[in-house]
Amino acid sequence: MNKEIMCVLCPNSCHLKIEYDESTKEITSLTGGTCKRAHDFALQEITNPMRTLTFSVLVSGGTLPLISTRSEGQIPLTDISKYVTILKGLQLPAPVLSGDVVFQDDSCKIIATKNVNKHK
Ligand code: SF4
């Protein structure tokens, strides 16, 4: 099996070409990476790709109608749509401060990344 991906671990954005066994996920060839982190990233991408989720959540009674949020750390790519659905359904009462936990379960914590003050 072949896969081409961009490594997102640093601004170099290396274009990785991966050849691997689909059943064992063993990488048989990896080119394009310019450091040793490429192998671990490629392995994660073919076994359990992870992403940071960023999303804007509704705020009620605030000086702004939305607040930007992000996941603390990365979550499985396959779970992103589930958490987007959850975040779409939230409406947070102002004020919301940067760092506030806006949602949390056993495997994911979403925090605010800016302040939205209470409307006077
Ligand atoms: S392979 Fe290494 S140098 Fe290239 S983007 Fe990934 S971390 Fe950066």
The answer to whether position 119 is within a domain reads no
Report which ligand 1 atom has the smallest distance to the Cα of 36. 2
Please tell me the total count of domains within the chain.
2
Residues 34 and 79 in one domain: no
Query: Taking the model in full, what pTM does it have?
Result: 0.82
Full residue range of the structural domain in which residue 71 is found = 54-112
The CATH number that applies at residue 83 is 3.10.530.10
pLDDT at 120: 84
Q: Going residue by residue through the chain (120 aa), what tens digit of pLDDT does each one get?
A: 999 999 989 999 999 999 999 999 999 999 999 999 999 999 999 999 999 999 999 999 999 999 999 999 999 999 999 999 999 999 999 999 999 999 999 999 999 999 999 998
The answer to whether position 62 is within a domain reads yes
Residue closest via CA to ligand 1's atom 8 equals: 10
Residues 8 and 42 in one domain: yes
Q: How far apart are CA 116 and CA 114, in angstroms?
A: 7
The answer to whether position 117 is within a domain reads no
**What backbone torsions phi and psi does residue 37 show, to the nearest 5 degrees?**
-75, -15
The answer to whether position 118 is within a domain reads no
Cα radius of gyration rounded to whole Å, the chain:
19
Report which ligand 1 atom has the smallest distance to the Cα of 9. 7
